[in-house]
Amino acid sequence: MQVIFIRHGESTGNAGQPSFDLSKLELTPTGHDQAARMATAWVQTPTLIALSPYLRTRLTAQPTIDRFPQVPVEILPMAEFTYLEPSRWNGTLRAERLPHIEAYWQTADPAYRDGPTAESFDTLLGRVESTLGWLQKLPPQSLVYAFSHGQFMQAVRISLLHPGWSSRQRMAHFWPFNGKYPILNVERLEICYADGCWTTEHVSQSSM
């Protein structure tokens, strides 16, 4: 089975606009264009289209859904990682949040939660595990296009590249790894499931 994760197109947050509700960020005109061109570039019909519950992934996936109207669509827990307490940061720019972002990752404490509606890193890894567990039950010849988010995709990648690492090790390496090997808008992460094992080879740069 093959799963192709796709990061959403450029969002208003990516473009530097203030963020209020992270689940409802829109795409920019560039993001909509990226999504439309991606939909025309697919060379295979998938057996399933999966997406996170966030608006920006739905908007990115919609042209692909429209191209393959017969393909079922499934919402999976592939939302972006919310590790800073949203109530303290609504309406802020990323530059304002950056010192707190860096401080969070420096703790390397996978159980830490920044507030009542924030996630711990362990929670993120749990969502990765549950998503992969759900996907691996699909028929062996399945092809899934899974529209998701950069940090969720990185958590998938680092989990598959280092299956023996503890959650603390994964968290300690996550931030520098993400800086060195970022997953950009509409880039794809390809993973495969065979013989009871998930593997990943590379992140594909989109021609969008």
pLDDT tens for each residue of 174-203: 999 999 999 999 999 999 999 999 999 766
- Alpha-carbon torsion (93, 95, 100, 106), positive or negative: positive
Number of domains in the chain: 1
Please name the residues in contact with 179: beta carbons below 8 A apart, sequence gap of 6 or more: none
pLDDT of residue 126: 98
Structure confidence at residue 208 as a pLDDT band (50, 70, 90): very low
Distances (CA, A) of 195 to 79, 131, 156, 176, 199: 28, 18, 19, 32, 10
Q: Does pTM surpass 0.85? A: yes
Contact 100, 84 (CB under 8 A): yes
Structure confidence at residue 72 as a pLDDT band (50, 70, 90): very high
CA–CA dist 184, 206 (Å, integer): 9
pLDDT tens digits, residue range 101-141?
999 999 999 999 999 999 999 999 999 999 999 999 999 99
What is the rounded average pLDDT of the residues 12-33?
A: 87
Percentages helix, strand, coil for the chain (3-state, rounded to 5) are 40, 20, 40
CATH code of the domain containing 199:
3.40.50.1240
What is the rounded average pLDDT of the residues 52-57?
A: 97
Q: Domain of 36? A: 2-204
What is the rounded average pLDDT of the residues 70-75?
A: 98
pLDDT of residue 206: 47
Of 34, 11, 31, which is closest to residue 21 (Cα–Cα)? 11
Structure confidence at residue 38 as a pLDDT band (50, 70, 90): very high
Residue type, 42: W
Contact 71, 49 (CB under 8 A): yes
Contact 59, 26 (CB under 8 A): yes
Least confident interval from 13-17, 30-34, 35-39? 13-17
Structure confidence at residue 9 as a pLDDT band (50, 70, 90): very high
pLDDT of residue 207: 39
Helices (H) and strands (E) in the chain, counts: 7, 6
pLDDT of residue 17: 80
SS3 50: strand
